[in-house]
Structure 1
Amino acid sequence: MKQTGTQSDHSRLEGLDHAGTGRVFWNLGMASLCERAVARGEVRLSEAGALVVTTVQSGQEISLVRVDDTARASGEPLPETVSGYASVLTRAQFEALKTDLLAYVGRRTLFGQDLCVEAGAGQRLPLRVLSDQAWHALLSRHLMRPCEATDMGETVPRLTVLCAPGFRPTPETHGVAADGAIALDLANGLALIAGTARSEAIRAALARLIDGPLTDAGVLPLDGVAAIGTAGRVALFLGTAGAGKSTLAGALARGQGEDGAPARLVDGALGWGEDGLVALENAAYARPADLARLAHEAPGFGAVLENIALDPASRTPDLAEAANTDVSRVILAQPSTDGAREPKLGPPAQLFVLVQDASGALPAIARLNPAQALAHCLACMDATPALAELYGPRLHDLLAGHAPGCWLVNTGWIGGAAGVGRRVSLEASRRLVDAAQAGELATGDWRTDPHFGFEVPTALEGIDPRLLDPARAFANRSAHDAAARALAGEFAARLARLETALGEEARDTQPGMAVAAE
């Protein structure tokens, strides 16, 4: 591994062809990277020392593509089993992009970071990020854990990200029609990012690269939130975007920490393996609105504020204005002095699958058996048949091995569709999640829902009974039954596509919902 701060020319880039005669600064620390990013005019400084960067004009449209050695031409329709990719590239197109991108960075200064990801059972997956932007190196250092010499030795990283925001790919030569591209050669562990400086491009490239090796190591990659309480009990929150994972997990973590013992929140990329959950990312990567709700400390020295306005006089960032902007992000480094960077979290004691029911037919909380939990998790991951076949058996084994309490939490509507019914309040959702985590719900009575098959508590102190029995919130029970039958039918249709992955036990369930929630 290169030593911190040393330079080399591009000819020493392991895993890449000769890239010219420019310099590479390897593994600079946070202070050095901040200094260089400011000196190079990449960023501005906030009054607290955060780096403020504007990327919204860079790569307005980002295309995620992958090389396919069997592809005959760019733009061919992708099979249904390929999830999230805009198109495939031929090997020739990818190699042309790689050659031209390397020629572009060949006379430029690059910043390299050697990083690693915990892969369970004491395994660490080495990876490398290179960019001609110093703040990208800082971002990467925040996102992933910097490797110590003992982690890598002289090992060549299996996975490499090379980022050149100023290079614009062309559809004629490179098969990419968008302004910016994330081009993946998964077989060779290489991601090329061109035409965009946005942090989400680097984060997405890292996530796609580590997905396969993690799965091979028996670790299931997840996008969720883990709240770790004072007794080490872990609550895992999964669900659709905007369903409230960060908010509910943050409230739970704060509540558990009231006795003075430390509580912890891990929001973002997680891995679930035999030993439990691991944090795949090292930083807090959040929208400004989430940062405010979770009561994080103000972004200070070394934090990255992306597409957030600064007051021209005071240099104070306007987090309120950026709160609901899709392209605004706050990336905070985790402290390194109190063990917060320890990635191992342990097995989940509770699993909460969050959905936003737009029909109003679901109760605010329900208890799931393992088969129902498996179906709901795959549904909220929007799994294709191929992805379900890959993840389904592993998730089944993890649910069986760790046996968490499994819950479906509806943060959407009750008593009718949006505009007719009423939204489940944040206070009610918090109360229900707290009761499930504390075991309070286990002492009450339950009913089995006739449409979805899951169990629903009949009452909880402080909760409107209509939140637990939505039929009472509709104008009449027949209206609820019609909405519930339609919702169950939609979900059953989705499960039919995942039949092979779910297994006999899960195929026989009618667990409910994830379709109308999206």
Structure 2
Amino acid sequence: MSSVDIIAEKISTLLRQNHFYHNLSVPCLVEKILARNEAVLTSTGAIGATTGKYTGRSPKDKYIVKEPSILEKINWGSINQPISSESFEKLYRKIINYLHQKEEIFVFDGYAGADINHRMGIRVINEYAWHNLFARQLFIRPTEDELASHTPDFTVISAPTFKANPLEDGTNSETFIIISFEKRIVLIGGTEYAGEMKKAIFSCMNYLLPQKGILPMHCSANVGIEGDVALFFGLSGTGKTTLSADVTRKLIGDDEHGWSSSGVFNIEGGCYAKCISLSREKEPQIFDSIRFGSVLENVAINEETRVADYEDGSLTENTRAAYPIQAMDNIVDPSLAGHPTTIIFLTADAFGVLPPISKLTREQAMYHFLSGYTSKLAGTERGITSPEATFSTCFGAPFLPLPATTYADMLGGLIDQHHVQVYLVNTGWTGGEYGVGERVKLKYTRAMIQAAIEGDLLHTETIKADNVFGLEIPLHVPGVPDDVLQPAKTWVDQNAYYIKAKELALKFKENFKQFSNVAEEVYEKGGPL
């Protein structure tokens, strides 16, 4: 019997135990969560859970098993760290034995991928009931007929209270997120942060989909009444979820998508919205989606009234709300649509020098996609307490097992094939760097994106407002003061602006050196002057 068969048999044996609960309904899971004191019931009916010291992803604790069939395909390095098959199998046996000792374990069967031609069957095995509710709300829930014939292509086993021994297990710490592509298993331990499950499956799809000629994307997507699709690329905190939740357009999905020969499809079945400072006034669709069955993660809850305080970031700035996409009224169901006409690259510029919106040439689009500049915002990863300038290839480097140029080449081909217009939108700072300037007003960003999607900017007069980045900035956008559009004009000290702009430009150039030999034309024509 092969090691794959042995592992499959161990899982089958595990799931035959009486203390395993398979595919519980939302009310039953909520009852279990409350009975087990895993979380509290909030005033809206959502459950409120906390995750201890791990309030964000742990990228330094993520591994891919070094297996023969993938050895030459993976972009090994600090993001895709290798771990041996021996270490994986040792940890697997430990976790299985650990879960055997638990009184109750929870199992969810579902899918990743709204397009039935490209979806992947998944099984999630959880130590915590609230993690199982999270999985049920974030992944695609099967119908009764689909459940009867469901076969998992990948299995996630999550045991938050199981901690690795780095000396014995070959890990960096007690925490680990390990993907085995040959055995089709994800092991998660030592962290209670539920987002690790969704991102692990996204990483799997980022490996598998390109082999089928499908581009996986870390983006949100929506569609207009005439079928015009818009994509929003960006890392956590840049506004993907907020800006794609538009009352005038239908939401396809808020975070992860595939782009096939048929069009765009959501990889997930739910939303994982960052909700620090959330309000009904600013984000009504998200606010009203947080109701019974939703999961609030690390949101401060009043002990007496059980009302969520979205302004309170004492636990973390990375407060989250997980809910099924069907909790929103203005959605596409099933979550798929045609080919995009507009792509928005979102960046939260902590330097405060990039324009609020700029129109990109093809070379600039490829340059900024490969660069993936933004700021890591507080709480999205352990150790980040204030915005920090960073580059994350394809706006999703932590989730890309393959070389970045694989995804960039696919995107470039699709942009050309479907004549897509690309814009760079800065949702970060203006009038000065972080600590001096202020965030670009949400109402201005919404107005700029609306103008871009509706085609109003295609023939608008533009200007290259500085000789640093060479970006085309529209001179006028309905609903936005003209001075806001040109970042230099928002700074009191013009000399300070140019010093800071040149400083950021040097960071771009230094980062892009890794691609200069494989994307020479993009390097020369798409980057800072």
Q: CA separation in 2, counterparts of 1:166 and 1:205? A: 18
Asked if residue 320 in structure 1 is aligned to residue 311 in structure 2, the reply is yes
SS of match in other structure, 2:305:
coil
Asked if residue 97 in structure 1 is aligned to residue 91 in structure 2, the reply is yes
1:370-408, CA deviations, whole angstroms, 9 ceiling, x for partnerless residues? 221122122117227962222121111121122222111
Q: CA separation in 2, counterparts of 1:307 and 1:359? A: 29
Asked if residue 410 in structure 1 is aligned to residue 426 in structure 2, the reply is yes
- Of 283, 295, 310, which residue of structure 2 is paired with 1:294? 283
Asked if residue 347 in structure 1 is aligned to residue 339 in structure 2, the reply is yes
Q: Which residue of 2 aligns with 1:397?
A: 413
SS of match in other structure, 1:211:
helix
Q: CA deviation at 1:156?
A: 3.9
1:411-462, CA deviations, whole angstroms, 9 ceiling, x for partnerless residues? 3344654456665333332322222222222343223464434422233455
Q: Superposed, which structure 2 residues align to 1:196-215 within 5 Å?
A: 196-215=191-210
Q: CA separation in 1, counterparts of 2:149 and 2:335? A: 23
Q: CA deviation at 1:301?
A: 1.5
Q: CA deviation at 1:369?
A: 1.8
- Of 201, 226, 230, which residue of structure 2 is paired with 1:235? 230
CA contact (8 A) 1:33 1:135 kept: yes
Q: In 2 relative to 1, CA 61–150 (structure 1 residues): closer, same or farther, beyond 3 Å?
A: closer
Q: CA separation in 1, counterparts of 2:333 and 2:131? A: 20
Q: CA separation in 1, counterparts of 2:357 and 2:55? A: 41
1:29-53, CA deviations, whole angstroms, 9 ceiling, x for partnerless residues? 2222222333333333224332222
Q: CA deviation at 1:332?
A: 1.3
- Of 195, 212, 218, which residue of structure 2 is paired with 1:223? 218
CA contact (8 A) 1:388 1:498 kept: no
Q: In 2 relative to 1, CA 210–53 (structure 1 residues): closer, same or farther, beyond 3 Å?
A: same
CA contact (8 A) 1:284 1:332 kept: yes
Q: Which amino acid aligns with 2:82?
A: V
CA contact (8 A) 2:123 2:152 kept: yes
Q: Which residue of 2 aligns with 1:247?
A: 242
Q: Which residue of 1 aligns with 2:370?
A: 378
CA contact (8 A) 1:454 1:511 kept: no
TM-score normalised per structure 2 = 0.80
Q: CA separation in 2, counterparts of 1:414 and 1:69? A: 47
Q: CA separation in 1, counterparts of 2:199 and 2:118? A: 22
Q: CA separation in 1, counterparts of 2:316 and 2:190? A: 21
Q: CA deviation at 1:367?
A: 0.9
Q: CA separation in 1, counterparts of 2:230 and 2:207? A: 25
CA contact (8 A) 2:289 2:327 kept: no
Q: In 2 relative to 1, CA 41–373 (structure 1 residues): closer, same or farther, beyond 3 Å?
A: same
Q: CA separation in 2, counterparts of 1:324 and 1:183? A: 27
Structure 1 gap segments, 5+ residues each:
1-10, 71-78, 258-262, 514-518
CA contact (8 A) 1:120 1:275 kept: no
Q: CA deviation at 1:21?
A: 6.6
CA contact (8 A) 1:190 1:209 kept: no
Q: CA separation in 2, counterparts of 1:423 and 1:391? A: 30
Q: CA separation in 2, counterparts of 1:417 and 1:310? A: 33
Q: Which residue of 2 aligns with 1:54?
A: 50
- Of 242, 254, 263, which residue of structure 2 is paired with 1:267? 254
Q: Superposed, which structure 2 residues align to 1:93-242 within 5 Å?
A: 93-108=87-102, 109-118=104-113, 120=115, 122-148=117-143, 151=146, 154=149, 156-242=151-237
Q: Which residue of 1 aligns with 2:454?
A: 438
Asked if residue 331 in structure 1 is aligned to residue 322 in structure 2, the reply is yes
Q: Which amino acid aligns with 2:301?
A: L
SS of match in other structure, 2:30:
helix
1:290-321, CA deviations, whole angstroms, 9 ceiling, x for partnerless residues? 75342231622211122334333333333332
SS of match in other structure, 1:48:
coil
Q: Which amino acid aligns with 2:30?
A: C
CA contact (8 A) 2:366 2:526 kept: no
CA contact (8 A) 1:22 1:110 kept: no
Q: In 2 relative to 1, CA 12–353 (structure 1 residues): closer, same or farther, beyond 3 Å?
A: closer
Q: In 2 relative to 1, CA 127–224 (structure 1 residues): closer, same or farther, beyond 3 Å?
A: same
Q: CA separation in 2, counterparts of 1:26 and 1:392? A: 40
Q: CA deviation at 1:352?
A: 1.2
Q: In 2 relative to 1, CA 410–471 (structure 1 residues): closer, same or farther, beyond 3 Å?
A: same
SS of match in other structure, 1:373:
helix
CA contact (8 A) 2:252 2:335 kept: no
Asked if residue 364 in structure 1 is aligned to residue 374 in structure 2, the reply is no
Q: Which residue of 2 aligns with 1:82?
A: 77
CA contact (8 A) 1:65 1:184 kept: yes
Q: How many residues align?
A: 485
Q: CA separation in 2, counterparts of 1:34 and 1:179? A: 29
Structure 2 gap segments, 5+ residues each:
1-5, 69-73, 373-390
Q: CA separation in 2, counterparts of 1:336 and 1:321? A: 24
Identical aligned pairs, as a percentage? Answer: 28
Q: CA deviation at 1:103?
A: 0.8
Q: Which residue of 2 aligns with 1:75?
A: none
Q: CA deviation at 1:91?
A: 1.9
Q: Which residue of 1 aligns with 2:297?
A: 306
Asked if residue 488 in structure 1 is aligned to residue 505 in structure 2, the reply is yes
Q: Which amino acid aligns with 1:89?
A: I
CA contact (8 A) 1:436 1:442 kept: yes
Q: In 2 relative to 1, CA 169–346 (structure 1 residues): closer, same or farther, beyond 3 Å?
A: same
Q: CA separation in 1, counterparts of 2:341 and 2:182? A: 36
1:112-166, CA deviations, whole angstroms, 9 ceiling, x for partnerless residues? 2111122757222111111132222221111111234655765642211011222
TM-score normalised per structure 1 = 0.82
